[in-house]
Amino acid sequence: MTVRGVVLDVDGTLVRGDEPIPGAIETVDRLRERGLDLLMLSNNPTQTPAAYAARLADLGFTVGPDDVVTSGSLTADYVAEEYPDAATYLLGEAGLREMLAARGVSLVTDPDSAEVVVASIDREFTYDRLRNALWALEGAAFVASDPDRTIPAADRPVPGSGPIVAALAEAADRDPDAMLGKPGKTAAEAVEARVAGRNEEVLVVGDRLDTDIALGENAGLRTALVLSGITTRADADSSSAAPDTVLDSVADLPALLDSWEDR
């Protein structure tokens, strides 16, 4: 079956830190030349899709705001739709705060007034922030932006949203009521709404087995794991997840598509 749409992870797949993965810019260009429908789907909640697109464009990628969905934008949409007018307490960063505010979410700083708590990556995380978020959770809904344990940075991985969410969940002795971002249902619905093709006509490409590949498997899409980010070949060999193919990097993607078309 011909691939019509490609969902691309960003950190660890197209870029590592502030540098493009070798061959990634050319790969995106070649995919567009083939007429494929592209979506950059990231579990990084710290930037708006417009800011994310601008970052990628500055690095040389052909990408616009409509090509990008992040766990932050999914979270902002979800809270605005599911909890309209609810007082929302954020354990997270300025980018997610901006997205929530832009969707009309009522943000509060008083834990005792919270009706919804959103937990996400927070690079200024402290005991006091955890304490306040715990207090805010008393009687409030618990929403998490994404489960990523780590993010592939330039030299080595750094903590992502997952550890912040886990700390709050452990303190509160409860799991999030909703987990946005990959591999969740909301992210799969975003793919279905924004990318041409269905089932095996859509290929998900990413560097994480537990988010990128799991998203594709859960949604019945084709999957390609790249080894340029978090996951090693040993990880892939020992995992119960089964990507349709494993590539050294996204630079190998055009040749893979050529081989599928030749079958």
Cα gap 231→137, rounded to integer Å: 34
How many other C-beta atoms lie within 10 A of the C-beta of residue 206?
Answer: 33
Cβ contacts of residue 136 below 8 Å, gap of 6+?
89, 111, 112, 114, 117
Q: How far is CA 147 from CA 27, 159, 164, 240, in A?
A: 28, 11, 9, 19
Structure-block tokens of residue 48: 């708006």
Catalytic residues, which ones?
9, 11
Structure-block tokens of residue 118: 């959103």
Q: How far is CA 37 from CA 147, 195, 222, in A?
A: 26, 6, 15
